[in-house]
Amino acid sequence: MEKVVISTSNAPAAIGPYSQAVKAANLLFISGQIPIDPATGNVVEGGVQAQTKQSLKNLQAICEGAGAGLKDVVKTTVFVRDMAQFAEVNEIYGEFFREDAPARACVEVSCLPKNVLVEIEAVVLIK
């Protein structure tokens, strides 16, 4: 099985020793995406909903860079700083995954990179 590193300029560059995504066989493993605007390199402002939206846009851009789409996502893990904001996160998440939503876990954590409010990683089926 060949391992292929996936990278796109339409999502933020990795800020450490990791890849945006790695393709192995017919699966794509996308690293946790935080709400950085790839055009500016800055964390988006506007609270947890704006940050969730940007994180999902980044995830979508990486899917597309690998020849897939959000419809091909089979599993996500959502990390939130405050589970009390879950409903707000879920509202935006539902806008991106309207039908046949992927399996998902959501975990509250004490801190995320750059002090963001949300981070989302995914496993994607490449057809």
Model confidence pLDDT, tens digit, residues 13-53: 998 899 999 999 999 999 999 999 999 999 999 999 999 99
| pTM (two decimals) | 0.96
User: Catalytic residues, which ones?
Assistant: 106
- For residue 18, give the CATH number of its domain: 3.30.1330.40
With contact defined as beta carbons under 8 Å apart, do 61 and 101 qualify? no
Among candidates 109, 121, 103, which has minimal Cα distance to 34?
121
For residue range 44-67, what is the model confidence (pLDDT) as tens digits?
A: 999 999 999 999 999 999 999 999
Domain that holds residue 46: 3-125
Q: How far is CA 48 from the centre of its chain?
A: 14
Q: What's the CA angle centered on 39, arms 35 and 43, to 5 degrees?
A: 30
Number of domains in the chain: 1
